[in-house]
Amino acid sequence: MSISTTTGNRPLPPKRLKAPRQPGWYIPWIFVGVFMVVLAVNGVMVHFAVSSWTGIETENHFIKGLGYNNDLAGARAQAERGWQVQPDFTSTEPRKGVIAITVRDKQGQILKDAAVTVTMIRPISEGHDKTLSLPYLGEGRYGAPVELDLEGQWDMRFVITHATGDYQDRKRVWVQ
């Protein structure tokens, strides 16, 4: 009998053979992988949703919704008046421009003695809006210079109040 130096006098344990994997052993890992991909994509989407929100929301949305029929009636009355309104915005320098609005009635007569208010609204961010009262310049034209905080697209919302009725509209303008 020979003595082994690695095991001494102990007999070697029998080698264990690994049982072969059963078919489909990887299927639970596929489910885990798919769920991990879904979680990662959702995490990225939540990040972009939270980091890109500009804070713009409609204030008093329920009350505004209740007044929708009144808004439709006002739009019909405005169309019946048939005023000819020509809004204009001209950029003069970077972030500066001139707002001009020409107002005539249905027959083309000049409408003076109106109160014209223009609100410049930045559609993609809040805190930059400006409201101006335009003075009468003659010949049915109201206008004033304006300086805005940012370049780019702006909504020019104008409201005209006159003894014969009201008018409101908006125009998208580009500020250089």
pLDDT digits (tens, 9 = 90+) for 26-75: 999 999 999 999 999 999 999 999 888 777 777 888 888 888 999 999 99
Task: Report the pLDDT value the prediction gives residue 9, as an integer from 0 to 100.
Answer: 72
**What's the Cα-to-Cα distance from 81 to each of 53, 108, 118, rounded to whole Å?**
40, 12, 20
The pLDDT value given to residue 10: 75
- What tens digit of pLDDT does each residue of 14-38 get? 787 888 888 999 999 999 999 999 9
> What pLDDT is attached to residue 8?
62
How many C-beta atoms lie closer than 10 Å to residue 105's C-beta? Answer: 16
Q: What is the CATH number of domain 84-175?
A: 2.60.40.10
Judged against a pLDDT cut of 60, whether residue 7 lies above it is answered with no
Is the pLDDT at 1 greater than 60? The verdict is: no
Angle at 69 between CA 84 and CA 66, to 5 degrees: 130
Looking at the predicted structure, is the pLDDT value of residue 164 above 80?
A: yes
Domains of the chain by residue range: 84-175
**φ, ψ for residue 123, nearest 5 deg:** -70, -15
Mean pLDDT of 68-95: 94
Average pLDDT, the chain: 90
Instruction: Check pLDDT > 70 for residue 11.
Output: yes
- Greatest alpha-carbon pair distance for the chain in Å reads 128
Residue 54 and residue 19: Cα distance in Å, rounded?
Answer: 59
